[in-house]
Structure 1
Amino acid sequence: ERRNQHTGTLSGGEQQMTAVARGIMANPILLIIDEMSLGLAPVLVLDLFKSLRELKAEGLTLLLVEQNVQMALAVSDYGYVLTHGKVEIEGPSKQLINDEHVRSAYLGM
């Protein structure tokens, strides 16, 4: 039914999923994703991050630029926190999630 629909007429979440799918179709060894969750409904963000976990489990390397720190760290092995374009904190994602400074300053916890 929607196979012939132009991507410009899709919702924001559908466009994001289409962009990721198009990237995957190229069978890359590295997929770079920039601000995947920007402007999306929370339920769509959860679906997209679930898909990233699945891709990672299949062995695809991902480079993710994302303002949703909590979700990004939950699917990543290693993280960099940038402030004004400079690396402020870096380390294994599990370590960053448990770091009190990161939790209070970036995760709102």
Structure 2
Amino acid sequence: MAREKFQTLTEQMFYSLLCLRQERCGADVMAQVDQMTRGRVVIGPGTLYNLLDSFLTAGMIEETVVEGRRRSYRITAAGERALAEEAERLETLLGDYRRFRVEGETR
């Protein structure tokens, strides 16, 4: 069964949206993701700009400032909902893992 686009977010998607809770340009998003994840998640320029374009099309972010080639973005209400839904999904997975781990240890 095919999943609807953005039903689950990749790490790059999740952290990009999380960063855009504050207005940022693409280069700032890449730097912030690197800092937030201590280098664990890397987003290259090609990946980031494809994500930004997809998020714009889906209404999850909005363009806020255009200065030549430099563009800044901010998350929208739709993006906040997607971010919150993904966090809830991940918390559910973690809860399932913890329950299973505890059950597995008692056997």
TM-score by length of 2: 0.29
Q: Which has the higher contact order (CA 8 A, sep 6+)?
A: 2
- Normalized per residue, the structure richer in helix is 2
Higher strand share: 1
